[in-house]
Amino acid sequence: MVINEMAYERLEALLSGASKVRRHEPMARHTTLRVGGPADLYVEPAHEENLAALLRHCARESLPWMVCGRGSNLLVRDGGIRGVVISLAHPGFSRMEREGDSLRCGAGARLKEVAHQARRHGLAGLEFLEGIPGCVGGALRMNAGAMGTSLFEVATHVRFMEESGEVREEPAPALEATYRSCASLRRRIALGAVLAGRPDDPEAIAERMRQYSSRRWETQPAAPSAGCMFKNPGSIPAGRLIDELGLKGHRAGDAMISDVHGNFIVNKGRATAQQVLDLMQQVQARARAERGIELEPEVQVVGDVAPYSTPLHAS
pLDDT tens for residues 221-261?
989 999 999 999 988 999 999 999 999 999 999 999 999 99
The class that CATH gives domain 94-206 is alpha beta
In Å, how far are 1, 303, 312 from 4, measured between CA atoms?
9, 19, 6
* pLDDT tens figures, 6-37: 777 778 888 988 999 999 999 999 999 999 99
pLDDT in tens, 266-291: 999 999 999 999 999 999 999 999 99
The CATH number corresponding to 221-298 among 3.40.50.150, 3.40.50.2000, 3.40.50.970, 3.90.78.10 equals 3.90.78.10
Residue 314: the pLDDT is 29
**By the 8 A CB rule, do 105 and 192 touch?**
yes
**Residue 313 pLDDT:** 33
Higher pLDDT, 5 or 302: 302
CB environment 137-154: b (16+ within 10 A), e (fewer): bbbbbbbbbbbeebbbeb
How large is the angle between the packed helices 48-61 and 5-14, nearest 10 degrees? 150
Q: Where in the chain is the domain with CATH 3.30.43.10?
A: 5-86
pLDDT top residue among 315 and 80:
80
5-86 fold: 3.30.43
Q: CATH 3.90.78.10 residue ranges in the chain?
A: 221-298
Name the segment(s) of the chain with CATH classification 3.30.465.10: 94-206
Mean pLDDT across 87-114: 96
**Nearest Cα residue to 40 out of 14, 86, 3:** 3
